Structure formats: C-alpha cells, structure tokens
Amino acid sequence: MSNIYYFLQLIWYQLTFKARPLPDDIRLEGQTAIVTGANVGLGFEAAKELASHELSRLILGVRDLAKGEAAKAEIVRVAPKCDIQVWQLDQESWASMVAFAERARTDLDRLDIILLNAGLKRLEYTRSPTSHEVHVQTNYLGTALLSLLLSEPLRQTAQKLGKPGRMTITTSSVGFIAPVRDITNPQEGNSIINWLDNPTSFVPGDSRYYLSKLLDMLWTRALASRLSASDIIVNTPNPGYCQSSFHRVDPNGDMFSKYLAFTTVEGGRHLTDAAVRHPDSHGAYLSEQRLRPFPNFIYSVEGVEVQQKLWDETITLFRQECPEANIEEFTRGE
C-alpha cells in the first residue's frame, strides 16, 4: 500500500469512526483476565472496561508495581467487586516473563482472557538488556513468548469449560506501511532477527516500530495455525491512532494527536471488542471493530515464507536464550 493512500485512509477513519463500548449485556462474571501494559494508556482503559463488566479477577501485568497499584486504585472505583492483582512483568527480561507465566500457571484456577498489549516506540536504535533491538524484544519477542507460555493455562480452562479462551495481541495499521524488504531480504546471515538487531539495519524514525507491528501480525497468524479455535481464539486488532504517552518520543505525534487521535478510552474499546466479541476471529486482523484483511504482503508467496521463517527463528531463539521457558512443551513436533 502506498504511504499516501494509507495516510488518507487513516485520516478518514480517524475522523469518521466512533468506537463502541462493550454492549451492556456482556457479563464476565466468574472470568479471569490478564492485561499487559495495563498501568496506562490503552491497556489501562481496556482493563477498566473489562472489569466494569463484572469480571471476577483481573491481573494487571506492569513493569513498575507502584504505577500498577495506582492503576488498580482507579479501576477499583468502577469495579469494587473485582479481585484486581498487580503482577510484575518486564518484556525486556526473559526471567520476568517466565516468572509471570509460571505465576499464572500456579496461582490462577482459571484463565479466560489474555490481552497482550504492552509495547513501545523509539525513534533511535536502542538495544535491550537481552541484546536485541528494543522493538524486536518488547513488541515482538516478548509478546510472542508470553503468547506461548500463557496459552497452556488458557487452554486448560477452555477444555474444562468447553468454550474457547481468548487471546488478543495489540497490533497497529502501521503494519501496512512497514518496510518489508528488511524481512524478505535480511542482510545478516539471512536471519530476520539477527538483521533487525544489527544497528546498520535501523533507519532513524518510526519505521522499525511499524515493522514490529507487522511481526505481531505474522506471529498471530503463525500461532493461530497451530492452535485449535475450539481451545483458543487468537486475534490481533488495530486500535487506531490514539492519544497516549506512546507518542511522547515523536515530535509529529502531538500535532496529529491534537486534531485526529482517538481518546485512550476509544482506543481501549477496540481491544476489549477484539478480546470478548468476534468468535469468528481466530487468526484474524480487526480494525474499526470488525474483521478486515491483513496487509497484502501477508498473503503473498514471500509473506507466507517469511511467516514460517520467522516462526522457526523465534522458536530456535527461545530454545537457546530462554531454556527455562521450556518451549518444547508448546512446540511438540516442530
């Protein structure tokens, strides 16, 4: 898609679409949900909306426990009966993610909804403590690892109750204008992840963030093809361009935010809509609260090859860099 066409479409969508809240008759009584990146922004609003529909237990996955407690204090006001717990989670630490998933496995007697939403944007090359480029680590690898590790408790609940669990991975329409040459033709030993980690592959600006959201789409499809929709429905929504601290690093963001951005409440509604409604959305992309096609690249021969290669590289990387995750359990027969 050309950038001009993309931005014209985006402006039209931002000016004309109004996200609907969850219908009043949706009751989440008895259910447990996990939301990552839940202390602020879209994750916070989505967590609050889920809690306000009589959700029984809500786990706020946050980097900073004090910020998580502040978010909890606000959510308690709209959902005083919900058991809200703040759990530490840092997607730049393998140990933190493994501990988080282990806690979910041992502490929760059921798990119904997972909203993997944490993410960031940086305009300059930044290396994460894991040694990966920070978008690759946080937006892609961290999300992918959690999706694997948390799928087991979700599946167990689904099989006990006889209805599928829900997993939603926040993406963005910017995946439509991501620079795909970096993943179709990686320059470093033909490895996509090695190439994206290499500072010479980084162009200052937001294109690496765009690419990380395309990787989330590819991962969602690869994961969905390995999960049964009767156990877990996994989908990936675009919340639109929203006012939030997300764009603080971007000097153009303020201007766009002022005139065109959705509020964080409206952004959060796109996420809750995907996480609770649309039983037909397994492996799907949603935008404007409905199923929409992925970028054309994803359906192309090259896109299908990249999806498989990315899956293979990612699983190999988890086996090597995070053996404590015991990824074998989730990838039998791969």
Ligand X SMILES: NC(=O)c1ccc[n+]([C@@H]2O[C@H](COP(=O)([O-])OP(=O)(O)OC[C@H]3O[C@@H](n4cnc5c(N)ncnc54)[C@H](OP(=O)(O)O)[C@@H]3O)[C@@H](O)[C@H]2O)c1
Q: Can you tell me which of 246, 285, 297, 330 binds ligand X, judged by CB under 6 A?
A: 246
Based on the shown chain and the rule CB under 6 A, indicate whether residue 241 belongs to the binding site for ligand X: yes
Based on the shown chain and the rule CB under 6 A, indicate whether residue 235 belongs to the binding site for ligand X: no
Any catalytic annotation for residue 213?
yes
Based on the shown chain and the rule CB under 6 A, indicate whether residue 32 belongs to the binding site for ligand X: no
Minimum separation from the CB atom of position 310 to ligand X (A): 18
Minimum separation from the CB atom of position 51 to ligand X (A): 16
Three-class DSSP labels, the chain: CCHHHHHHHHHHHHHHCCCCCCCCCCCCCCCEEEEECCCCHHHHHHHHHHHCCCCCEEEEEECCHHHHHHHHHHHHHHCCCCEEEEEECCCCCHHHHHHHHHHHHHHCCCCCEEEECCCCCCCCCCECCCCCEHHHHHHHHHHHHHHHHHHHHHHHHHHHHCCCEEEEECCCHHHHHCCCHHHHCCCCCCCHHHHHHCHHHCCCCCHHHHHHHHHHHHHHHHHHHHCCCCCEEEEEECCCCECCHHHHHCCCHHHHHHHHCECHHHHHHHHHHHHHCCCCCCCEEEECCEEECCCHHHHCHHHHHHHHHHHHHHHHHHHHHCHHHCHHHHCCCC
Any catalytic annotation for residue 172?
yes
Q: Can you tell me which of 10, 19, 33, 41 binds ligand X, judged by CB under 6 A?
A: 41
Q: Considering only 243-251, 285-293, 300-308, 314-322, which stretch makes contact with ligand X by CB under 6 A?
A: 243-251
Of 151 and 236, the one with the shorter C-beta distance to ligand X is 236
Q: Can you tell me which of 33, 60, 118, 158 binds ligand X, judged by CB under 6 A?
A: 118
* Per annotation, catalytic residue among 121, 140, 151, 209: 209
Chain positions 57 to 76 lying near ligand X, rule: CB under 6 A, are: 63-64, 67
Residues 120, 123, 126, CA angle at the centre, nearest 5°?
75
Of 64 and 280, the one with the shorter C-beta distance to ligand X is 64
Minimum separation from the CB atom of position 332 to ligand X (A): 28
* Per annotation, catalytic residue among 93, 128, 151, 172: 172
Based on the shown chain and the rule CB under 6 A, indicate whether residue 151 belongs to the binding site for ligand X: no
Of 91 and 220, the one with the shorter C-beta distance to ligand X is 91
Based on the shown chain and the rule CB under 6 A, indicate whether residue 239 belongs to the binding site for ligand X: yes
Q: Give the binding site for ligand X (CB under 6 A).
A: 37, 39-43, 63-64, 67, 89-92, 117-120, 138, 170, 172, 239, 241-242, 244-246
Supply the residues annotated as catalytic.
172, 209, 213
